[in-house]
Amino acid sequence: MQQMTAIMPARRKWRDGLREEFFPRDRRRDIDGLRALAVAAVVLMHAGWLSGGFVGVDIFVVISGYFMGRSALMQDPFQPARFACRRLYRLLPALLCMVAVISAGMLWWVLQSDRADIALNGAYALVYLSNIWAAGHVGYFEGQALAYPFLHTWSLSLEMQFYAVIFVVAVMLPRVRWRLYALLGILAVSAGCSLHDHLAGDGQGYYRITDRMWEFALGTLIWMLPRPRLPRAVANVAYALALCVLVGACVFYVRDYACPSWGVVFPCLAVVAIIMLPHTDVARVTLGPVSPLGVISYSVYLWHWPVIVLANYLLMFQVAGLTMAGVLVVALLVGLLSYVFVERTFLDYEGRAGTVARNRGALALVCACGLLSAGLGYVSYTSRVH
């Protein structure tokens, strides 16, 4: 009886810890639900089961812009070192781990011609220039994309490039109003670039930060817009319509509607509407239950594509059907492990470490990425020479 009494508090503590980890009180569960929808759309598209899964990237982009508005542009005064450390601890450890593991697992046995491109793609990914590499090497919707396990990091490069722009804006413009004007200018110029590339039929605009910046800026501007005060029923209807737009775009869009395209506008505006209408009944019963997937979405996104590529290499045929379902389960489990043991570990350290230790850790992460990037660049060079 005493043993059972001792076990019960331990179980309760474990259960409460699990609930706090995947249903945290300090986060909006509907936004985590949006992340879940986004990563599910991308993963299912890469599995060949969803035509418009690329909309997931647009969802991620607007959400990233929204959180940058809170952590950078709305801060007065802006704390550049704290901002940079938080971003580096959030993004670098899991990326570094993924690139290191996949490189070690693939580069020694793939064909020499493939090794050169894979290593170079990994080198660019670690310095957040993967979108530039991809624009010059491979179309995102082409079959040859299956040869590159780091191709999906192009969107992470866009995100870090946007962070760099926001960092400069926040440092150079101390007043929130000036930052608002800068954002409006960025939105207008980027929308113009996207429209130009759409009319010109330039498919490489899909990878360009100039064609995507307006989506980030749109998310950031949410903090500077007045919150709508709608009756509960109206808010629920508006939320449901916005969610239907997102799901419909993921299901029915084809590659012609991918950025740069007018079709991107609708899902982006739908994300804005959902973020601006918190705590609705529709959110609680739709996006809320899937929010745990949103919590681990970064790690799942990082690992799903390399796992798919690796499966195709090992099995020597294009994976589909039940085999693909098994591969996705493996990718989900690997993403969960990455979140628990890598992503969460470094974020916890960043939260409790002192200023000096935190800054040194961030510098060490940057140096580690730089060294591995240089090493992969050397592997690529020697593979081409020989």
Read out DSSP for 291-321?
HHHHHTHHHHHHHHHHHHHHHHHHHTS---H
Q: Positive or negative CA dihedral for 171, 174, 180, 185?
A: negative
Rounded CA-CA distance 356/305 in Å is 36
In a structure prediction context, what are the per-residue pLDDT tens digits for the chain, which is 386 residues long? 555 555 556 556 545 555 666 666 768 899 999 999 999 999 999 999 999 999 999 999 999 999 988 778 777 778 888 899 999 999 999 999 999 999 998 888 887 778 899 999 999 999 999 999 998 887 777 666 778 999 999 999 999 999 999 999 989 988 888 888 999 999 999 999 999 999 998 888 899 999 999 999 999 999 888 888 899 999 999 999 999 999 999 999 999 999 989 999 999 999 999 999 988 999 999 999 999 999 999 999 999 999 999 999 888 778 889 999 999 999 999 999 999 999 999 999 998 999 999 999 999 999 999 999 999 999 999 988 76
Rounded CA-CA distance 33/26 in Å is 14
Contacts of 36 (CB under 8 A, 6+ apart): 287, 290, 291, 292, 293, 294, 297
Q: Which of 200, 246, 213 is nearest to 38 (CA)?
A: 246
Contacts of 136 (CB under 8 A, 6+ apart): none
Rounded CA-CA distance 301/229 in Å is 35
> Which tokens in the block code for residue 59?
């969802």
Residue 127 in 3-state DSSP? coil
Residue 123 contacts residue 369 (beta carbons within 8 Å): no
* Cβ neighbours around 240 below 10 Å, total: 15
> Which tokens in the block code for residue 363?
């510098």
At 246 the pLDDT is 97
Say which DSSP state 256 is in.
G
> Which tokens in the block code for residue 270?
């739908």
* Cβ neighbours around 138 below 10 Å, total: 20
CA atoms within 13 A on the CB side of 344: 14
Say what the pTM is. 0.92
At 111 the pLDDT is 75
